[in-house]
Amino acid sequence: MTDSSPTSTTVGSSPELAGVLAQMGAVVLAAESINTTIELITSLMAHTLPGTTGAGVTLIDSRGKRTRAASNALVQQADSLQYELDTGPCLTAWRDQVTVRIDDTDAETRWPQWTAAVAGLGVRSMVSAPLLSAGSGIGAIKVYAGRPGVYDSRAEQVLELFARQASILLVNTQTLADARRLSAELTESLNHRDLVSQAKGVLMARGAPDAQAAFQLLVAAAERSNTKVHDVARQLVSAAQPGRPPQPAP
């Protein structure tokens, strides 16, 4: 489709855009979650591209297709129609790893089902760019406008810059989240192991012949009470604290 270049689509100067991208980059050092990252990306996209009615991020993984941090209900509705129909500009951007632009939904022929479905939502033009990680598509970012011809080739380039930076942020944030989760799991595992060791010591002090026999007593108690071994161990160790009345062995 030919580019339309209305003066209203003029994107901010390079220093302004550099400042926006720098703000996105700073999030890597502060973001506590993927939601924080996506909300910032969505907000910056909506404010950086004049004429934008709504912005959002689509993530696609083993859990399916979903919109994260849509700036308003219009984005959520327009995206949901794509997921229901399994066709549309954002899904094409993701599948084909290309930037997609619609100058006027009334004249667009590539996704007739979707464009007909969004007619009542007031979506007239849009741009979507793919989110890529290690050469694979992980989703797409998009901006919607209520007037035709709002976006031009310059807007495409800006959104592609956002997409590249957003992909890095999302992958880094996910990596950080995974590392934190693994650390928490390892810490919990070590705590459980210590509890079980303490509980075995309590049982051996009460007459269990060895550590293996003590562990079998814990397992049997867990099965009878339909709880986890470490929960039984925690109860036993707690009951064995000084000042507590003696408890029978499991």
DSSP 98-117: --EEES-TTT--SSHHHHHH
Give the pLDDT score at 174.
58
Give the pLDDT score at 9.
39
Give the pLDDT score at 235.
84
How many C-alpha atoms does 147 have within 13 Å on its Cβ side? 11
Percentage helix, strand, coil, to 5, in the chain? 60, 15, 30
User: What CATH number should be reported for the domain whose range is 184-239?
Assistant: 1.10.10
Instruction: Pull the structure tokens for residue 247.
Output: 């408890």
Residue pair 62/91 in contact by the 8 Å Cβ criterion: no
Residue pair 133/171 in contact by the 8 Å Cβ criterion: yes
Rounded Cα gap, residues 133 and 129, in angstroms:
13
Instruction: Pull the structure tokens for residue 160.
Output: 């592609």
Whether pTM exceeds 0.85: no
Give the pLDDT score at 140.
95
Q: Which CATH architecture has domain 7-179?
A: 2-Layer Sandwich (3.30)
b/e map of 121-130 (b: 16 or more CB within 10 Å)?
Answer: bebbbbbbbb
Residue pair 123/105 in contact by the 8 Å Cβ criterion: yes
Give the pLDDT score at 55.
95
Instruction: Pull the structure tokens for residue 31.
Output: 């973001």
Give the pLDDT score at 95.
95
Based on its alpha-carbon atoms, the radius of gyration of the chain, rounded to whole angstroms, reads 28
Return averaged pLDDT per consecutive 10 residues of the chain, 250 residues in all. Answer: 39 54 53 69 88 93 82 94 96 96 96 94 96 89 96 94 84 58 59 79 86 84 83 82 58
- Start-end of CATH 3.30.450.40 domains in the chain: 7-179
- Start-end of CATH 1.10.10 domains in the chain: 184-239
